[in-house]
Every structure is written in C-alpha cells, then in structure tokens.
C-alpha cells in the first residue's frame, strides 16, 4: 500500500518531507544501517548486529520503506507494515500500522524525528480507520522503551521471535518488547 508523501515543518527554517524510498536510495540506506550499528556498538547499546538487505529492497519495492527528506538530504528512514502476524500473533487483527527499523541519519543526530514519524503514522491510521500504532524494540533496552512510552506507547509484553526466514535476519530469535499506541 503506497501512501502519499507529506510535508512536515520541523522548525521555522526547514521543511521535511516523508515520502517513499526508492531503489536509488539503497546505498545511503545501507550506509545509515551500518552507521546505526556502529553507533550502537560504540555506545554499548543493545541493538542490531546485522540487517537484511533483501528485506530492505523488498520493502522499497512494496512501497513500505519511507524516507524523511530535508533539502535533498535523507534525515531518517522507517518501514511501515499493515500486518505483523509473526510478532503480534493473536493480537494481529488488521487494525494497526506497524513501525519498524526507524533509523536516523547520524549527520542529523540532534534532530528528533520520532515525533514526526508518530504524527505521520497517526494521520495514516485516521485515514485508513485503524485503531493502533504498534512497534517492537529490544526488550533489554529500558531507556529506549521509556523513550517510546514518553510518546504515549504502552508496554504490552516481551516476546521472543522465531527463527523463521519470513523475518529479516535482525528480527530472528530476538527478545523484543511490544509497544502499542492507541488512537
């Protein structure tokens, strides 16, 4: 499902646009993942050990990977799913949007993009008549869980994902905290 791009004003000087990523963005997207992994390791954060390039390409081809752009710079990326049965199991009722793999471009580390991603996702939920925004994050990262809770997400449960090839490499056998934002 492809969603129309939206303009977002972050401050008085900059206009940011959320729009679908394209295959031509892949080199930079891979660089963003590499930098995020390096940043997580350098700071001893729980985080990705790797990422699945095939899933990223597939997400782009399906119109599910979005980029946040300012003055021709990709400030961040995120993926949206409209179903997540493998992680949300019996709670999956086609009534939510699922945020995955939110990555900030380290060159813009002082910009807080999550509020804008959440506002964008909220608008999509209203437009599509969905009840929830859901996401998962590392169960062992209490600071990140608290950060998302500060935006109104509620902790649902911890869950260990399966080893299925239907999940990207970085999501297999992963202990995650499931978080939900009710509209």
**Structural domain boundaries, residue 102:** 6-135
Question: Domain with 108 in it: what CATH number?
Answer: 3.40.630.30
Q: Name the band, by pLDDT with cuts 50, 70 and 90, for residue 9.
A: very low
Residue 122: what pLDDT? Answer: 97
Question: Any idea which residue has 């509209």 for tokens?
Answer: 183
Length, in residues, of the chain:
183
Rounded to whole angstroms, the Cα distance separating 1 from 70 reads 24
In a domain, 153, yes or no: no
* Percent of the chain scoring above 70 in pLDDT: 92
In a domain, 75, yes or no: yes
In a domain, 131, yes or no: yes
Rg (CA), the chain: 16
Q: Name the band, by pLDDT with cuts 50, 70 and 90, for residue 20.
A: very high
- Look at the chain and report how many structural domains it folds into: 1
């Amino acid at each position: 499902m492809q969603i129309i791009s939206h303009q977002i004003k972050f401050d008085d000087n900059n206009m940011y646009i959320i729009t679908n990523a394209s295959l031509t963005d892949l080199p930079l997207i891979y660089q963003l993942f590499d930098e995020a992994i390096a940043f997580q390791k350098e700071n001893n954060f729980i985080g990705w050990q790797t990422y699945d390039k095939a899933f990223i390409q597939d997400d782009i081809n399906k119109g599910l990977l979005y980029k946040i752009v300012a003055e021709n710079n990709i400030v961040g990326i995120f993926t949206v799913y409209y179903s997540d049965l493998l992680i949300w199991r019996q709670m999956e009722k086609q009534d939510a949007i699922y945020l995955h793999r939110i990555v900030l471009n380290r060159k813009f580390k002082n910009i807080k993009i999550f509020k804008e991603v959440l506002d964008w996702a909220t608008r999509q939920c209203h437009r599509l008549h969905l009840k929830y925004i859901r996401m998962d994050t590392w169960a062992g990262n209490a600071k990140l869980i608290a950060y998302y809770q500060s935006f109104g997400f509620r902790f649902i449960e911890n869950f260990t994902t399966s080893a299925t090839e239907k999940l990207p490499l970085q999501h297999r056998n992963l202990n995650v905290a499931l978080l939900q934002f009710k509209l």
